[in-house]
């Protein structure tokens, strides 16, 4: 069977090669498609930290994706309309600068994840799934009724936000930016997984009682994982909104939360590149099958069914011949 490291490198090289090839043959839309896959991969890498290592099946991760999206939308909206953003008695200016938008997206998502995690982690199993879903729906309906920022229609941003030294309107440059962030996030994930924190979190998923008897608090470990996870998914949300130059309440929808879980399951739960493989496959199917039939989700469902029944380690598990993510 193929070593996992090799699979990872092939995926990595493929993600880089396809857009470069697209430049050569002048197919800018392909670059956008791969960028979309990269951004979804970042969101799913975020979720995989909570889901894969921490065992937290969150059906509300769209909350953080949406928060990231609206962080971008709101800041850019105030910048493009030259209006001030009034918050807690402060009058703030909007911004079109990506680094600032990312920072806001990360901080606000982390804060939201901390509050949601604090409440949700009192439960486990099905109840945890339901309570995170409930939070997702709360944010979704709030966004729909938030008329200041477009309500159900969402917000359009006319020009993509800027990054110092780059022209983000050029697809390959924006792709490069997203790809670099994916690399950073994957690297952080890899370090975290092998660090003492990852070891303890991994044990907290498997045997919380053991973690308690060595004097550590499994709840607190899971909460921190949930916050890191939410922050990364929030960053992806800001990029996603910038890719489309549009945010709408659908970024908060539970379907999106579900899709993120599906991506991870297809790629391989708890594996570093599981979310990346899942995201690529998802976007490819959405594009190719979506062109053939409106009901392409049926085929996605069949693939998911096959994987859950016959290949519990996802596609990476299938390729490497190892079902478990570990060792």
Partner 1 sequence: MSEPILATRNLRKNFGALAATDDVSIDLRAGEIHAIIGPNGAGKSTLIAQICGGLRPDSGSVHLLGRDVTQYSKQARARSGLGRTFQISALAMEDSVLENVVLGALGASGNPWRFWSRALSDASLTAKAEAALERVGLIEHRHTRCAELSHGQRRQLEVAVALTLSPKAFVMDEPMAGLGAEGSKLLTAFLDQLRAEAPILLVEHDMDAVFALADRISVLVYGQVIASGTVEEIKSSRAVREAYLGEEA
Token duo for residue 276: 């990346």
Contacting partner 1 within 306-325 (CB under 8 A) = 324-325
Residue number, 138 or 216, with CB nearest to partner 1:
216
With vertex at residue 62, the alpha carbon angle to CA 61 and CA 65, rounded to the nearest 5 degrees, is 100
User: Which three-class secondary structure state does DSSP give residue 214?
Assistant: coil
Least distance CB 235 / partner 1 (angstroms): 17
Token duo for residue 159: 């020009």
Contact 182, 35 (CB under 8 A): no
Q: How many CB atoms lie within 10 A of CB 187?
A: 11
Residues 89, 125, 164, 196: which binds partner 1 (CB under 8 A)? 196
183 is a site residue for partner 1 (CB under 8 A): no
Residue with tokens 């970024």: 251
Please list, in sequence order, all residues whose beta carbon lies within 8 angstroms of the beta carbon of residue 221, skipping any fewer than 6 positions away.
54, 197, 200, 201, 204, 211
Q: What CA–CA distances, in Å, run from 173 to 121, 167, 283?
A: 40, 7, 20
Contacting partner 1 within 260-279 (CB under 8 A) = none
167 is a site residue for partner 1 (CB under 8 A): no
Q: Residues binding partner 1: what is the number (CB under 8 A)?
A: 28
Nearest to 270 by CA among 210, 317, 215, 214: 317
H helical segments located in the chain: 4-24, 28-48, 62-81, 98-120, 126-145, 171-194, 196-206, 208-213, 218-244, 254-267, 274-292, 297-310, 314-320
194 is a site residue for partner 1 (CB under 8 A): yes
Least distance CB 194 / partner 1 (angstroms): 5
Least distance CB 166 / partner 1 (angstroms): 29
Least distance CB 216 / partner 1 (angstroms): 5
Least distance CB 238 / partner 1 (angstroms): 22
Beta bridge partners of 84: 93
Least distance CB 188 / partner 1 (angstroms): 8
Distance CA 122, CA 105 (A): 26
Residue number, 169 or 199, with CB nearest to partner 1:
199
Residue number, 25 or 327, with CB nearest to partner 1:
327
Least distance CB 204 / partner 1 (angstroms): 9
Residue number, 34 or 221, with CB nearest to partner 1:
221
Question: Stretches 11-19, 69-77, 131-139, 187-195: which one binds partner 1 (CB under 8 A)?
Answer: 187-195
Distance CA 235, CA 121 (A): 23
Residue number, 39 or 221, with CB nearest to partner 1:
221
191 is a site residue for partner 1 (CB under 8 A): yes
Residue number, 52 or 234, with CB nearest to partner 1:
52
User: Which three-class secondary structure state does DSSP give residue 95?
Assistant: coil
Least distance CB 186 / partner 1 (angstroms): 15
Residue number, 202 or 253, with CB nearest to partner 1:
202
Residue number, 199 or 302, with CB nearest to partner 1:
199
Contact 36, 44 (CB under 8 A): no
Q: Write the interaction track for partner 1 spanning residues 198-227; mark x where CB under 8 A is met and - where it is not.
A: xxx-xx--xx-xxxxxxxxx---x--x---
Summarize as ranges the residues that interact with partner 1 (CB under 8 A): 191-192, 194-200, 202-203, 206-207, 209-217, 221, 224, 324-327
């Amino acid at each position: 069977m193929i070593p996992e490291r090799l699979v990872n490198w092939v995926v990595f090289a493929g993600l880089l090669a396809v857009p470069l090839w697209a430049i050569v043959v002048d197919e800018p839309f392909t670059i956008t498609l791969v960028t979309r896959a990269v951004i979804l991969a970042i969101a799913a890498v975020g979720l995989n930290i909570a889901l894969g290592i921490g065992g937290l099946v969150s059906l509300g991760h769209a909350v953080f994706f949406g928060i990231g999206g609206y962080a971008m939308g709101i800041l850019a909206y105030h910048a493009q309309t030259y209006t001030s953003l009034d918050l807690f008695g402060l009058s703030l200016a909007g911004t079109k600068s990506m680094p600032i938008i990312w920072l806001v997206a990360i901080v606000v998502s982390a804060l939201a994840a901390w509050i949601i995690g604090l409440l949700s982690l009192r439960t486990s199993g099905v109840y945890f799934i339901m309570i995170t879903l409930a939070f997702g729906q709360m944010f979704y309906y709030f966004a729909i009724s938030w008329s200041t920022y477009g309500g159900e229609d969402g917000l359009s941003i006319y020009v993509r936000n800027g990054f110092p030294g780059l022209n983000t309107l050029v697809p390959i440059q924006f792709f490069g930016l997203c790809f670099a962030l994916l690399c950073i996030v994957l690297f952080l994930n890899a370090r975290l997984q092998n660090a003492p924190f990852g070891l303890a979190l991994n044990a907290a998923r498997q045997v919380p009682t053991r973690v308690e008897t060595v004097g550590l608090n499994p709840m607190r470990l899971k909460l921190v994982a949930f916050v890191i996870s939410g922050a990364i998914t929030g960053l992806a949300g800001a990029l996603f909104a910038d890719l489309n130059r549009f945010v709408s309440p659908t970024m908060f929808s539970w379907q999106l939360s579900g899709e993120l879980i599906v991506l991870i399951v297809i790629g391989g739960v708890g594996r570093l590149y599981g979310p990346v493989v899942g995201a690529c496959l998802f976007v490819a199917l959405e594009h190719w099958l979506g062109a053939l039939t409106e009901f392409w989700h049926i085929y996605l469902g069949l693939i998911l069914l096959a994987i859950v029944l016959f290949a519990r380690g996802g596609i990476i598990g299938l390729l490497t011949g190892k079902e478990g993510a570990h060792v």
